[in-house]
Structure 1
């Protein structure tokens, strides 16, 4: 991430890329309630900070692209048949209003400038499209344990509650809802026509 002063997480992900798919993948059923909020057919999906492309691969869409800052992750995505583009999530190398859905799954807490990332997601969404953010609630018992574990591992993670993330999505100019609550929650942002 060229514009970020914080790059520790990118280096860690680059080093663990070959092992990344050993973690449980996000399943379509977790994303379905948020996908249903799109007011258009979802055919072109951008998986921001998508690593090996697990998220976009779960959707079975005609076109899925991963944007990630870790070259090792992109290499694994491409090995799995997913187009990958190296880029900064806060300055997406994607045209305005060019995708039907933006996924940010288990990734926003690793990004140095989350507000800028959400603004970029809003910029690249077509009207009627949907932003889907899957994150973890740091106020739950499991969330507090996750925060501690990530920091001990060396990540510079910054977690948000579902309400705080929904407010950030609204500030980016999208409608916001929380279709899935709990330790692992989903915030969806819709772009109006």
Structure 2
């Protein structure tokens, strides 16, 4: 499953899965309200792509029907322990039918996808017309973003961070109508799947 994460990334996440949620702050989802408002259809079914232990999916669960997709078995075991539906999947070859969900979110993980073009194309395929693909990640043009990138490199990860405008362009190239929702160390971009 080379289209998902760099080999060093998968090994790292398999090793730290049991401690990941202890080390990470609780997931916020305030950005999701604005991202999902960009949709031209009701958002109920949400795919948390590269969702790891399901931190984001769990935060969305009270209001939405999420499923976690990741390639790290250790991380998915933790997501399932939370009671979340989870599937081991390569982002470039998702085992979902066309139009299967209303939204896809990629949170704090876009930089781990070595073939972002294939991942965005697949995300757009599984989102029903009028639904959205939202990316929330660290901007390497900021000082904290550069520090995070350097830290991941020290851990042997194959991370490749992209700035906010480049992420929005990735969505546009996949045929989505994209919009930058916020900028800063952490940014959010969203793309809407055409209805026709």
The question of a shared fold, defined as TM-score above 0.5 by the shorter chain, is answered with: yes
Q: Which runs of 5+ in 1 are unaligned?
A: none
Pairing partner for 1:65 from 61, 64, 67: 67
Q: Which runs of 4+ in 1 moved over 6 A?
A: none
- Report whether the alignment pairs 1:41 with 2:76: no
Retained in 2: the 8 A contact 1:42–1:61? no
Report 1:105-116 matches (<5 A). 105-116=107-118
Retained in 2: the 8 A contact 1:45–1:61? no
Give me the whole-angstrom Cα distance separating, in 1, the residues matched to 2:139 and 2:3: 27
Retained in 2: the 8 A contact 1:165–1:187? yes
TM-superposition CA deviations, 1:23-51 (whole Å, max 9, x none): 01321213221121111111111011000
Match for residue 187 of structure 1? Answer: 189
Q: Displacement of 1:63 after TM fit?
A: 2.2
Q: Displacement of 1:2 after TM fit?
A: 4.6
Q: Displacement of 1:62 after TM fit?
A: 4.6
Retained in 2: the 8 A contact 1:47–1:55? yes
- Report whether the alignment pairs 1:92 with 2:90: no
Give me the whole-angstrom Cα distance separating, in 2, the residues matched to 1:172 and 1:21: 32
Q: Which runs of 5+ in 2 are unaligned?
A: none
Give me the whole-angstrom Cα distance separating, in 1, the residues matched to 2:64 and 2:138: 29
Equivalent residues, number: 193
Give me the whole-angstrom Cα distance separating, in 2, the residues matched to 1:165 and 1:50: 18
Query: CA distance change for structure 1 residues 76 and 36 in 2, over 3 Å: closer, same or farther?
Result: same
Query: CA distance change for structure 1 residues 54 and 43 in 2, over 3 Å: closer, same or farther?
Result: same
- Report whether the alignment pairs 1:175 with 2:173: no
Match for residue 117 of structure 1? Answer: 119
RMSD of aligned residue pairs (Cα, Å): 1.4
Match for residue 9 of structure 2? Answer: 9
Give me the whole-angstrom Cα distance separating, in 2, the residues matched to 1:105 and 1:3: 17
